[in-house]
Amino acid sequence: MYQDFAADRGSLALDGFALDALPWVTRYTPLRPDLEGTLVFTRLPSDREDELIQAQIDYFAQRGCDFEWKLYEFDEPADLKRRLAARGFQEDDTEAFMLCAVEPERSAPRMRSGLRIERITDRSGVRDLVRVQELIWEQPFRWLGDILGETLEQRPQQLSLYCAYDDGRAVGTGWTTFLPGSAYAELHGGAVLARYRGRGIYADLFRIRLAEIRRRGYRWAAVDASAMSRPILARLGFQHVCMTVPMRKLW
């Protein structure tokens, strides 16, 4: 399942980044100074691991660009995490890569939370969404608002944003990216303010997004799930594929 996902996504561009689909890794170089570079889907040849790791470090160092090397359990070499840690990479929170097969459904999704869930279509709504993320993670996400707002305006078919509202206040978020040519729609930002958890809001945000994924003909929904989200997603039909961990290099 992971190999199919890597083959599907390894040559697709992302907003705000230049793509280099190298034979042993997919590299995304940011096109704006407030973003970090990314390396993903690693398969280094057994006789050149250290050489190629250093080549990527040098590449981003020359650009003065922080970057993340995202590791999946199936990446090669198996000790890549150890090799990166030895070169000063910092380990971020581990997540579970999970997939859900999109099956036909004849009825509309049943909402259970009782709150209003709204499709976000403008910058004002994006600000609501970003504010929820900032309250949950306790850090600024201006860059996220810029990326989502630009994509919404320039390529609206590739992004679908939702907020849950309680009496006009945004209390939950979730969005989906739809890359052209991919069989996988990716879920992001599923989150609910602490005082509103346990009311079915997270599940409602998922159901409304899954219904859209189904309408648009995608075969799979993919997500990197936090420890808090994993059990909810498992109940909603997601299968655990492997663990994934970001290793970050800061200058």
Structural element, H or E, at residue 233: helix 230-235
CA atoms within 13 A on the CB side of 100: 26
Nearest Cα neighbor of 199 from 162, 164, 235, 234 is 164
In this predicted model, which residue has the larger pLDDT, 28 or 2?
Answer: 28
Bridge partner residues of 220 (DSSP)? 101, 184
State residue 201's pLDDT score. Answer: 96
Whole-prediction pTM: 0.91
When the pLDDT of each residue in the chain is averaged and rounded to a whole number, the result is: 94
- Find out whether 89 and 247 touch, Cβ atoms under 8 Å: yes
Q: How do residues 73-126 score in pLDDT, each as one tens digit?
A: 999 999 999 999 999 999 999 999 999 999 887 666 778 888 999 999 999 999
What is the spatial distance between Cα 168 and Cα 157, in angstroms, rounded to a whole number? 26
Structural element, H or E, at residue 116: strand 116-120
State residue 15's pLDDT score. Answer: 81
Q: How do residues 190-222 score in pLDDT, each as one tens digit?
A: 999 999 999 999 999 999 999 999 999 999 999
- R_g (Cα) of the chain, nearest Å: 19
What is the spatial distance between Cα 240 and Cα 98, in angstroms, rounded to a whole number? 5
Residue 34 burial (C-beta neighbours within 10 Å; 0-12, 13-18, 19+): exposed
- Which DSSP string corresponds to 124-148? HHHHHHHHHHHHHHTS--HHHHHHH
- Find out whether 207 and 201 touch, Cβ atoms under 8 Å: no
Structural element, H or E, at residue 246: strand 239-249
State residue 107's pLDDT score. Answer: 64
Structure tokens at 173: 């978020």
